Structure 1
Amino acid sequence: MRVGILPLGRPTFDVPYAEEKLAVMLAQLDASGHEITGPRRLLMEADDAALAQVAGSDVLLILQVTFTDAAFATRAAIGHAGRVAIWAVPEPREGGRLRLNAFCGLNLLSHALGLNERRFVWAYGDDVDLNALLTGPEIAPKHGTPTDAAPVAIRRDLRIARIGERPAGFDTCAYDRSALRDLTGAEVTELALPDLFDRARALPAEAVAPYATQADRLGGIEALDAGERDRSLRLAGALDALRQEHRFDAMAIRCWPETFTEYGGAVCGPVSMLGEARTPCACEADVYGAVTQAILQDVADAPVFLADLVDMDEETGVVWHCGQAPASMAARAPDATVHTNRKQALLLEFPLKAGRVTLFRLSQAQGRPQVIVATGEVLDRPMAFTGTSGVIRFDRGAPAVCADVMASGLEHHMALAYGDHADTLRGVAAGLDLPVLELGA
């Protein structure tokens, strides 16, 4: 067969390591006996010349070497007449930075392809079954089913801030204001990101002081750049002021790249602080993620964490985000740190404490609103990756959960809370007249 490859990467990740991974992937492909066409270098941006190289191939093979948004790969897949396959590679859980984050890129792309009804095959691993990837059955879409649980009512008066627009290629964070209001009653107020920055810069010192006091308790805070630390904490004060002014219950914030490139301080630490204080914030302007957090917070009566699923093996999965989980979820005293890719303060760093957890998403996967739930145990393990992360043993097994994430086209953000809340969330689904997909079932 003629196999056209598109190796995807981004320069904010560990490019030398990604190139090593790509070389191993190419060696396996070259040994397969198939005709391999297309670029043999990492594509750091959309590349129409690369698309021309793979045109007419029997299989379009997207090599997800690092995390990327889904825009270019989705365009390539939709425009390809033949079979589409995706191969993403893992990285070791060594407690350092997330050097590739390829699984999350695979997750993002599976959602985009599901929305576009584009069938595909996927593999995640260093040494995969190329025959199955290139010739095996395509993934079958999976949807939730109706629940017979007793209905549980949610608050119908949620007030959500959307600050800035979702990043390009993040279909996982798209929303329709009217559809969300009809479904949940939530009202969304759209605010401009530069206005948040202006408000933060103008904040008086006394409004920043409560957050500075919290930060002073973090290990290693004195080693961080004082200007970045101050700018970051000013975002906490500005977000809290907006919360009070508009009576927001949750916020969805465009967290990158402008907080780093235009403002000069991370919003991750402030998100942790506000989440601990029961104002959950969603990264990447994920409005449905913010509503998901607000619902789960009410169900659990506890802080929630909006996390990416960033690795799966035969036994466990890893949930992670840059450094914004609520501090009460920490297995040890949190440390202050910088963003692993952007190298700016302020973020929190810790492994999640051991205990039973529930993951939940009010999902729009494959264009169908539904409730998605998973349960498991956070294990007492060393920190998998820098930021805030936890290793989970899923009740229904990691391979089955992973398969359902891809088959359902699940968004890359799920809300996590401690405790087993699956029964109540089934009732929430019944109250919203939505089907339920329990991952791995």
Structure 2
Amino acid sequence: MNNVPDIKIGIVAVSRNCFPEELSVNRRSVLVKEYEKKYGSDDIYECPICIVESEIHMTRALKNIEKEGCNALCVYLGNFGPEISETMLADCFNGPVMFCAAAEETQEDLFDGRGDAYCGLLNASYALKLRQTKAYIPENPVGDASECADMIHDFVPIARTLIGLSNLKIISFGPRPSNFLACNAPIQSLYDLHVEIEENSELDLFESFNKHMDDPRIAETVEDMQKELGEGIAFPEILPKLAQYELTLKDWIRNHKGQRKYVAIAGKCWPAFQTQFGFVPCYVNSRLTAAGYPVSCEVDIYGALSEYIGTCVSLDAVTILDINNTIPSDMYSENIEGKSFLKGPYKKGDLFMGFHCGNTSSCKLSSCKLCNQRIMARTLPEEVTKGTIEGDLKPGRTTVYRLQSSSDTKLKAYIAQGEILPIATKSYGSIGIFAIKEMSRFYRHVLIEKNYPHHAAILFDHYGKYLFEIFKYLGVPIEEIDYNKCKDRYYLTENPFWEED
């Protein structure tokens, strides 16, 4: 996947000087071998310089992992560990950090072979708090070599996202459309996250687009679009303009990323875009997103931010959809009621349709067709509304989520896991039937109660465990990270007597 960081995690073992150093040395060696056996050696580096017992050792280890190009750190407690130097290492390292610890191995060696890292991790967490140093600590942070290898592997998408965000620039074009207060984007929170923002006028984009009119790369890009769409090219005459626009955005990204390494785009698509450019940009947006450069609709800056987070986590195409409409009763009774799906059966209140005009990558659609934007065509000539990519979303597991800043620049987020059902939507756009347990309650007491916009970022598998840890690491207050609660757990604003008769 383009536009995301490569991760190299340095593993540094630590030891308290009154414990046998070989405990940490041997356990580190076994851990690294186990990791390489399960996950390969591309994203891990074993720091061989020393076991960290003091500040001097810490300095040596830090220089070594920096020299080796490590951009993430795992502090591994092979025994009790020295809370001062181990947390100083985390504080001095310029990148995301995790802590994990070794479990005891056998009842036959609980004298000199007992490491007490279970206890030492408590001291480490206390010292991290004193230093105000962020660190990822897994849900079950003490384990044997195989379990710790899994913990480090789970840290990879978290670290990749955190590094990506710290080097991200969001490029936006134009103010949000009129009557779209929901796309309000106070930029203070972006700077709090160390995300750069470049805001441009649609006129800047239009000028650049016109300069690409005779770009010699247009023919090659059209050929690539034809290959992707296959029989789904309803309007082949629009492809040269779409190719011209795609090249415009690609060149803008290259010329405007500046000191930042990664880019996401918050694009304008109406109301004047169609009449001036002569098409809608949805298909081009889908192609850039599939390549790792997320493009949100309607200048949704926090939508673009959320999409980029998902790109880093999943290394896969994401999309942004409206939490759009309910499921008709006859569709529910004929196709869904009483049937078992991946997480089913489902109540009607668990379901909704996620929709957007035509922005989802072809690889995430069951079939696709280049179409015109039906909603815009109600008031505009059909000729200028061509350029959407439409089809039902592929069924399977999904994560619906969003990171958002409120108008007072406070960060909040939600995550809900479920599935996209293998049921024909009988509608238009990029669209699918989403099933999320207790969605109706989540909709009322999170999405409405906490004033979230209608756009949701969509991942095509379950990634909630990573998103939750990322949002915590970014400093989102834990009470502001919401998820869909099961039936017997009430939301703060939920009336517990409502269903009683």
Contact 1:316 1:391 in 2 (8 A): yes
Single out whichever of 243-252 and 286-295 deviates more from structure 2.
243-252
The change in CA–CA distance for 1:306 and 1:210 in structure 2 (over 3 A counts) is farther
Structure with the bigger RCO (C-alpha within 8 Å, sep 6+) is 1
Shift of 1:202: 2.3
Query: What amino acid is aligned across from residue 272 of structure 2 in structure 1?
Result: E
Does 2:370 correspond to 1:336?
yes
- State which of 350, 354, 378 in structure 2 corresponds to 1:319: 354
Helix, strand or coil at the partner of 1:347: strand
In structure 2, the residue matched to 1:157 is 167
**CA-based RMSD:** 2.2
1:383 and 1:389 in contact (8 A); partners too: yes
2:337 matches 1:295: no
Q: Output aligned runs, 1:130-149, within 5 Å.
A: none
Structure-2 separation of matches of 1:365 and 1:400: 21
Is the Cα contact below 8 Å between 1:364 and 1:370 reproduced in 2?
Answer: yes
1:222-237 aligned at under 5 Å gives the runs: 223-224=234-235, 226=237, 228-237=238-247
CA deviations 1:295-336 (Å, max 9, x no partner) are: 11101111110111111342411111100101111112x111
Q: Which runs of 5+ in 2 are unaligned?
A: 1-135, 140-154, 328-347, 377-381, 487-501
Q: Is the 8 A contact 1:162 1:189 kept in 2?
A: yes
Closer, same or farther: CA 440–255 of 1 in aligned 2, 3 Å: farther
1:347 aligns with 2:388: yes
- After TM superposition, give the deviation of residue 230 of structure 1 in Å: 2.8
Residues 201, 259 of structure 1: CA spacing in aligned structure 2 closer, same or farther, 3 A cutoff?
A: same
Tell me which structure has the larger Cα radius of gyration. Answer: 2
> Shift in Å at residue 252 of structure 1?
0.3
Equivalences for 1:42-121 in 2 at 5 Å?
none
Match of 1:439 in 2: 484
Is 2:181 aligned against 1:171? yes
Deviation of the 1:210 alpha carbon: 4.0
Deviations 1:345-402 (A, max 9, x none): 11111111011011110123574411211111011111342111111111x2232232
Number of equivalent positions:
291
Structure 1 CA distance for aligned equivalents of residues 419 and 234 of structure 2? 34
Residue of structure 2 equivalent to 1:281: 295
Q: Name the SS for the 1:285 alignment partner.
A: coil
Match of 2:313, SS state, is: helix
Distance 2:323 2:188 in 1: 29
Equivalent position of 1:199 in the other structure: 208
Following superposition, the deviation at residue 214 of structure 1 comes to 3.2
Matched, 1:267 2:281: yes
Q: For 1:325-404, what aligned pairs fall within 5 Å after superposition? A: 325-332=360-367, 334-342=368-376, 343=382, 344-365=385-406, 367=408, 368-394=410-436, 396-403=437-444, 404=446
Shift of 1:269: 0.8
Summarize the Cα distance change of 1:208–1:422 in structure 2 as closer, same or farther, 3 Å threshold: same
Question: Structure 1, residues 173-227: CA drift from partner, whole Å, max 9, x if none?
Answer: 2223333111x2110111221221222222134332343123323256654272x
Partner of 1:306: 320
Q: Which runs of 5+ in 1 are unaligned?
A: 1-146
Q: Partner letter of residue 371 of structure 2?
A: T
Normalization by structure 1: what TM-score?
A: 0.62
> Given the two structures, how large is their TM-score scaled by the length of structure 2?
0.55
Question: CA offsets per residue over residues 68-87 of structure 1, 9 Å max, x none?
Answer: xxxxxxxxxxxxxxxxxxxx
Indicate the SS of the match to 1:237. Answer: helix
Q: Distance in 1 between matches of 2:392 and 2:415?
A: 22
d(CA) in 2 for partners of 1:379 and 1:273? 24
For 1:366 and 1:281, the matched residues in 2 are separated by: 23
Distance 1:221 1:378, change over 3 A: closer
